[in-house]
Amino acid sequence: MSVVFEIASLQEIDDQLATLQAGIASIQDRLARSEQLDNARRQLQHVEERIAQHERTQRRLDGEIADLTARIEPEEKRLFSGSVTSSKELMSIQQEVDSLKKKRSQLEDELLEIMDRLEKLESRRTAAQEAVQEAEQAREAAHRELRTELRRYEDSLAAARERRAEQASQVQPRPLQIYEDLRKRKGGAAVARLQGQACGACRVAIPDALRKQVLLRDAVAQCPNCEKILAPG
């Protein structure tokens, strides 16, 4: 078979390889992405942080309320024990008790508010946990499909590489070297088909003598403009 034909076949296989490699890169990119799951996890984390914050406040209020109760109780005992007889002192104790109770009542209101918010946050946490679970399942299903697709691509790639090696062995070293150099410099496309009297890659008219050489397929002929190896259209 002619050298030009062999090189054109090699270019076809290399094009297939490039397509397969791009396909594999795209699948790997999709496998690496997990926006839905990341968002769901972030949402859950946010809710959990707020719950922890509210629980801290709840504990603080519980402690403060207990402290106030511990102060109120002995004062009330003194008030009703009969041990204090001075009406001025009794009034002062009563005022102190009233003031502490008022403070405690405010804290209890705050505590109720916090508990109410916690309850709402806990149901938001349940929803967020479910969303994470759903996203994990969706990702798992998508990944199963993608991994199957990836295996198919990798099998095709391995087969194409074998064909490539075999085809490259059909080409003489010198033309092969020209082809490989061009492929590196021309973004993978080293072969241009003749289109009428022009180079199919750069559209420049090819001189008759060169065109005949291409059509007779007896040697490697390169486009005088873009340097690509010319092959019959």
Beta strands in the chain (DSSP E): 191-195, 198-199, 229-231
Q: Is position 194 an interface residue for Zn ion (rule: CB under 5 A)? A: no
Closer of 66 and 204 to Zn ion (Cβ) = 204
Residue 190 exposed, middle or buried by CB count within 10 Å (0-12, 13-18, 19+): buried
Q: What are phi and psi of 190, to 5 degrees?
A: -105, -15
x-or-dash string of contact with Zn ion, 129-158, rule CB under 5 A: ------------------------------
For Zn ion, the closer CB: 22 or 204: 204
Residue 154 is which amino acid? E
- The stretch among 6-14, 87-95, 126-134, 198-206 that binds Zn ion (CB under 5 A) is 198-206
If the CB atoms of residues 139 and 183 are measured against Zn ion, the closer one turns out to be: 183
Q: Which among 133-141, 155-163, 175-183, 223-231 is the span making contact with Zn ion, rule CB under 5 A?
A: 223-231
Burial class (CB in 10 A: 0-12, 13-18, 19+), 86: exposed
- Which range in 39-47, 93-101, 175-183, 199-207 contacts Zn ion by CB under 5 A? 199-207
- Distance from C-alpha of 52 to C-alpha of 172, rounded to nearest angstrom: 73
Q: Does 223 bind Zn ion (CB under 5 A)?
A: yes
Of 18, 62, 63, the C-alpha closest to 183 is 18
Cα–Cα distance, 28 to 26 (Å, whole number): 5
Could you say which of 17, 101, 226, 232 contacts Zn ion (CB under 5 A)?
A: 226
202 belongs to the binding site for Zn ion (CB under 5 A): yes
Contact call for residue 210 and Zn ion (CB under 5 A)? no
Q: Are 210 and 189 in contact (CB under 8 A)?
A: no
- Give me the residues that bind Zn ion (CB under 5 A), please: 199, 201-202, 223, 225-226
